[in-house]
Amino acid sequence: MTTTPTASLAERKRQLVADELTRAALGLLAQKGFDAVTVDEIAACAGMSKRTFFRYFASKEDVVVQFLAGLGAGMRAELASRPAGEPPSAALRHAVRACVDACAGQAERTLRVVRLILGTPALHARFLEHQAQWRDELAAELAARLGLDAAALHPRLAAGTALTAFDVVLQQWSSGDGSEDPAALTDRAFATLAPALDATPR
């Protein structure tokens, strides 16, 4: 049940196809723009049919946005792994930093994708939708840390505020030439926001 070699093989084959589709898609989309490329084109460029594309990605937006899919999970995991005594501002800062550092790690690739997303309304919308999901998850994690109700105002506000910082940092980073250090931007943002994040909820 754990990891039979056959399952692992099938899984790797699947991953291979997905990677090829992603590669073809990112290349074409970055070059010609989101609306000017059809799914048929992407599939043909990857050497398969449109139907296969949709077996791997739920939508044309998905192939771009899923490139960032792991970030949300990583952020929540990082937040969950922070020591319990740490103030929320520091814990959230580390969580966002985990994300930002992952992005900065493959800077040129990430920059291309982020610019594509921020410059394409349809993609931006999907990205924000993902972020809304992350916000709920971060809020739940935060509520657990603080012993509060997950539906309360404060954890949601704090999670949303932290994600706003992430958003602004991405925007700032991608609008420049990429030379600005996103980690430093993140720390500056959290220095401003810390008092609100650590406030005692009434």
Partner DNA sequence: CCTCGCGTGTCACCAAGTGTCAAGGAGGTC
Partner DNA sequence: GACCTCCTTGACACTTGGTGACACGCGAGG
How far is the C-alpha of 78 from the C-alpha of 75, rounded, in Å? 5
User: Which is closer to a second copy, CB of 70 or CB of 121?
Assistant: 121
User: Which is closer to DNA, CB of 133 or CB of 175?
Assistant: 133
Among the residue ranges 52-60, 84-92, 177-185, 191-199, the one whose residues contact DNA (CB under 7 A): 52-60
Residue type, 55: R
Residue corresponding to tokens 């930002």: 100
How far is the C-alpha of 115 from the C-alpha of 16, rounded, in Å? 25
Chain centroid to Cα 187, Å, comes to: 18
65 binds DNA per the rule CB under 7 A: no
59 binds DNA per the rule CB under 7 A: yes
Site string for a second copy, 137-176 (x = CB under 8 A): --------------x-xx-xx--xx-xxx-xx--xx--x-
User: Which is closer to a second copy, CB of 137 or CB of 167?
Assistant: 167
Give, in degrees to the nearest 5, the angle at Cα 192 between 190 and 194.
Answer: 60
DSSP 123-166: HHHHHHHHHHHHHHHHHHHHHHHHT--TTSHHHHHHHHHHHHHH
66 binds DNA per the rule CB under 7 A: no
181 binds a second copy per the rule CB under 8 A: no
In the complex, which residues of this chain contact DNA (CB under 7 A)?
6, 9-10, 13-14, 17, 37-40, 47-52, 54-55, 58-61
